[in-house]
Amino acid sequence: MLNIRISQDLLAAIIFILIGVAALVFGADLRAGTSADMGPGYLPRALGWTVISLGVITGLRTIWLHSPVVGQVKLRPIILILVATCAFGFLVESAGFVVASAIAIFNSLFGNGRPSVPYALGMVVILPVALAIIFIVGLGLPIDLWWF
Amino acid sequence: MIADMLNNLAIGFAGASTLANLGYALVGCLLGTLVGVLPGIGVVPTVAMLLPLSFGMEPLSGLIMLAGIYYGAQYGGSTAAILVRMPGEAGSIVTALDGYEMARKGRAGSALAIAALASFFAGTVATLLIAAFGPSLASLAMKFHSADYFSLMVLGLSMTVVLAQGSILKAIAVMLIGFIFGLVGLDINSGVQRFTFGIPDLWEGVSFLAISIGLFGLVEVVRNLEFPEPRGDRPKMKIRDLYPNREEFRESAPAVVRGTILGSLLGVLPGGGAVLASFVSYSLEKKLSKRPETFGKGAPAGVASPEAANNAGAQTSFVPLLTLGLPSNPIMALLMGAMMIHGIAPGTAIVSERPDLFWGLIASMWIGNLMLVVLNLPLVGLWVRLLTISYDLLFPAIMMFCLIGVYSEGGSAFQILLLAGFTLLGYLLMRCGCEPAPMIIGFILGPMMEENLRRALTVSGGDYSVFIERPISATLLAASVLLLLLMALPGLRKSRAEAFQE
């Protein structure tokens, strides 16, 4: 559990400014050109600056405009769903679909609290097999079922 | 013109009613309803999640199935709204008001039938309207120059921003961020790679599936885990007589007609008019009713009118996509992405170059609507049982659907990492009170806007006044400015906030 005390608008402002700056930094080597002959960097630059300014306005606005605080963030769901996603991505090629999805599902279950053993066992065993039958055997998606 | 239209519709029905395509429409409607009725899954996540199923198919079959999924999911949403007061999406919020009250009075069957028949009527009328006016709109769009296109897209983006929930400023920023993600990859004009960091997976741009499934699919899973919705009560009433009685029928019929007209008109507007239409039609009926006090307490017209408006709007929202190549809401953006993956560029050319596709899709809209009526009323018992499935059993399967969907497109682990990244971004934005819809619209429209802006300015020699000198472009821009200005007025802003509150 994480309690974020800054306001929603301020956090939004920070995200906007970071993304705008990233667009400017990583787009710095792109030729901007002129409006008559736009280069690949013309819009990235324009958009980067616009997003930054919108971020700044959103942030400054919090001085006089009330915005609710972000508040309690339960870390469990977001972190475990991300872990499950990445685990699937890293494992699916080497370990095959069944093992990768079993591990992903196992992780995701903890995103919802502590799972009971029979429920966890059921999900981890039945769901990957069912999905494999539907998508790989049935619909013929080209994903390896096993590691061999 | 009518002979032309009938002739074209005949072509469409011939293409859409082959046995295989009827089968796909059926599967789409069933799947859509099945997923749409499940607790905690709205229409957009349903479509995003099931999108990859269509990739192996013929373009027309794939689109027919996706359209079926869309209608089915909407229908499932209304069913959930009526039976357990859990509207899966914004469009059925109003339906839940009176639909659920009807259900509590033992008129659940009647409410479901009214919703189904209202939707079917609205769908039929809207389909005919598209058939009648779609092609002429497309030929009007042939006169559009790049400057006009650019301004049209500006209008579309303004509508999206205005109709998004919460702060307009934040919605604009989120949309422009989507625009930036849309620029990733090879710049066609200069042949330069932008923001690809030497990663081959990014050469063709950010995967459309990774961004849409991340923002709409996985973020929803996380949101539902973090903020579990209070479980709806299992409806106790029996779904006896499925037919509305005479009085209910008499009250609903005119409301359906008004809802259909309103929905068809508002649905065409870029920016997602269907939701707006359901709200507006509900308050219109309340004003026109002889007994406004019954609204909110189970008035049949309060179910019939917004359902008709919502469905008519859902149908006519295909018009800007099919004639101008302009997606008017996130679902249309998803369908547009699917079309592009199938190698079809939606836009003015689609009517003349792929009439089989255009008319086939229109015909399939009607077929899909018919199937929903025929199928869903008898299957109501099954949907009721689905409504009570625990989210504990659902969410791992939903997550896996999302992962398989993204992985099956490119078959690379990088796409899955991208999916994780967009899930995190989408989650953070959600916690900041930002909606994801403008981002996906910006992502889809962005590259097209850049192209048209570039072309218009090259022709004009870099002179921005070209956008106000061309009458079409000037009108469209003026409309966008007016729209945004109106939203800045305090009075309207308040009523917009209230509309979203309800």
At B208, list the tokens: 């459309």
What per-residue confidence (pLDDT) applies to B279? 80
A112 closest CB neighbour out of B173, B225, B424: B225
Q: What is the mean pLDDT of residues B468-476?
A: 88
A145 falls within a domain: no
User: What is the percent of chain B where pLDDT is above 70?
Assistant: 92
The answer to whether residues A43 and A96 belong to one domain is no
B348-379: buried (b, 16+ CB within 10 Å) or exposed (e) per residue? bebbeebeebbbbbbbbbbbbbebbbebbbeb
What per-residue confidence (pLDDT) applies to B181? 95
- The whole domain housing A16 covers 8-64
Alpha helices in B269-412 (DSSP H): 273-288, 300-316, 318-319, 330-341, 349-353, 355-387, 391-410
| pLDDT tens figures, B481-493 | 888 887 776 555 5
Range in B200-214, B221-235, B239-253, B486-500 with the lowest mean pLDDT: B486-500
| pLDDT tens figures, B317-360 | 888 888 887 887 788 888 888 888 888 877 777 777 888 888 88
Q: What is the mean pLDDT of residues B167-186?
A: 91
Query: A38 near B454, Cβ under 8 Å?
Result: yes
A84 falls within a domain: yes
* B183 contacts on A by Cβ (under 8 Å): 43-44, 47
Q: How far is it, in rounded angstroms, from Cα B338 to Cα B209?
A: 9
List, as ranges, residues 426-485 from B with C-beta within 8 Å of A: 427-429, 431-434, 450, 453-454, 457-458, 460-464
ipTM of the complex in this document: 0.95
Q: What is the mean pLDDT of residues B70-85?
A: 84
Range in A108-122, B135-149, B391-405 with the lowest mean pLDDT: B135-149
For chain B, say whether A145 makes contact (Cβ under 8 Å).
no
The answer to whether residues A94 and A56 belong to one domain is no
Cβ contact A143–B400 (<8 Å): no
A146 falls within a domain: no
- Long-range contacts, stretch B376-379, CB < 8 angstroms, 24+ apart: B376/B33, B376/B75, B376/B79, B376/B112, B376/B116, B377/B112, B377/B113, B377/B116, B377/B242, B379/B33
The answer to whether residues A79 and A52 belong to one domain is no
Helix (H/G/I), strand (E/B), else coil: A139: coil
Domain's final residue, options A18, A40, A64:
A64
A12 closest CB neighbour out of B170, B400, B417: B170
Among B487, B327, B438, residue whose Cα is nearest residue B339? B327
From B50, which residue of chain A is nearest by alpha-carbon distance? A135
What per-residue confidence (pLDDT) applies to B412? 84
For chain B, say whether A73 makes contact (Cβ under 8 Å).
yes
A143 falls within a domain: no
Cβ contact B462–A35 (<8 Å): yes
Query: Taking the mean position of all CA atoms in its chain, how far away is CA B490?
Result: 29
The answer to whether residues A50 and A86 belong to one domain is no
B416 closest CB neighbour out of A41, A55, A85: A85
For chain A, say whether B230 makes contact (Cβ under 8 Å).
no
The answer to whether residues A121 and A100 belong to one domain is yes
A82 falls within a domain: yes
Query: B204 near B467, Cβ under 8 Å?
Result: no
Query: B378 near B116, Cβ under 8 Å?
Result: no
Cβ contact B192–A35 (<8 Å): no
Q: What is the mean pLDDT of residues B2-30?
A: 84
Query: Could you tell me the pTM of the whole model?
Result: 0.84
What per-residue confidence (pLDDT) applies to B294? 83
Q: How many domains does chain A have?
A: 2
* A90 contacts on B by Cβ (under 8 Å): 413
Residues ≥6 apart with Cβ < 8 Å to A77 = A111, A112, B221, B222, B225, B226
| pLDDT tens figures, B399-432 | 998 898 888 877 788 999 999 999 999 999 999 9
What pairing do the DSSP bridges indicate for beta strands B193-194 and B185-186?
A: antiparallel
Q: What is the mean pLDDT of residues B96-100?
A: 83
| pLDDT tens figures, B107-151 | 888 888 888 889 999 999 998 888 888 777 777 777 788 888 888
For chain A, say whether B399 makes contact (Cβ under 8 Å).
yes
Cβ contact A77–B461 (<8 Å): no
Count how many residues are written for chain A.
Answer: 148
The number of beta carbons lying within 10 Å of the beta carbon of residue B132 is: 14
What per-residue confidence (pLDDT) applies to B502? 45
Q: How many domains does chain B have?
A: 1
Q: How far is it, in rounded angstroms, from Cα B318 to Cα B372?
A: 19
* A30 contacts on B by Cβ (under 8 Å): 192, 194
For chain B, say whether A74 makes contact (Cβ under 8 Å).
yes
